[in-house]
Amino acid sequence: MTSAAQSALRRVIEQYTKNVRFCIICNYVNKIIPAVQSRCTRFRFGPLPRPEVEKRLNHVVDAEKVNLTEDGRQALLKLSKGDMRRALNVLQACHAAYDVTDEAAVYNCTGNPDPADIEAIMQSMMNESFETSYRRISSLKMEKGLALQDIIQGCFDFVATVEFPRQTRVVLLDHLAQVEHRLSTGASEKLQLTALLGATKLAIELSQNK
């Protein structure tokens, strides 16, 4: 909702507050203009537990007769991160675009790198030369339209679930956090990709020298 539309909504709230209650749901409260915020009581709802999301998702799938595979279901639960609205929106988009909603369909609709891509990226960073790995990852980003921010999140999940020496894990997670922070402040994706590659090479070198 644009700022102009929110300003118009403010007037509606003022006029009909005696007999109407307004409920505004958003992911980022800072995107609501101060004039509307000041007329509201704010409540913060945490992410739903995974079993609750799955229960409701199964209900919608059965009611709408969506052809959802088990790997697609797990991908939806993983990517929604407890956000029921996001889970249903992605499910609807996948159902409209594909006859069968599987893991590949979910990742294609959301634009997130799938686990196979993340594993290929991590293996490339750990085992190939700096230049070869940079070209391979850059090519994959362009081919599949991936954002470095999403790749970093996938790398974090990969590092958290794969056996690494303690020092390697510490260095990798620390540098992943630094790269993610710099990206959020508007840093160049190309520079941050080279920083990510350098951090991975450093972590592997430390583990080999220990």
**Would 45 be classed as within a structural domain?**
no
Question: What digits encode the pLDDT tens for the residues 173-201?
Answer: 898 899 999 988 888 889 999 999 998 88
* CATH at 177: 1.20.272.10
**Would 44 be classed as within a structural domain?**
no
CA 128, chain centre distance (Å): 27
**Would 27 be classed as within a structural domain?**
yes
Reported pTM = 0.70
Are 89 and 174 part of one and the same domain? no
DSSP 85-119: HHHHHHHHHHHHH-SSB-HHHHHHHHTPPPHHHHH
Residue of 128, 129, 148 whose CA lies nearest to 138 = 148
CA 88, chain centre distance (Å): 15
* CATH at 104: 1.10.8.60
pLDDT of res. 60: 94
Question: What digits encode the pLDDT tens for the residues 91-129?
Answer: 999 999 999 999 989 998 888 888 888 999 989 998 899
DSSP 16-36: HTTT-------S-GGGS-HHH
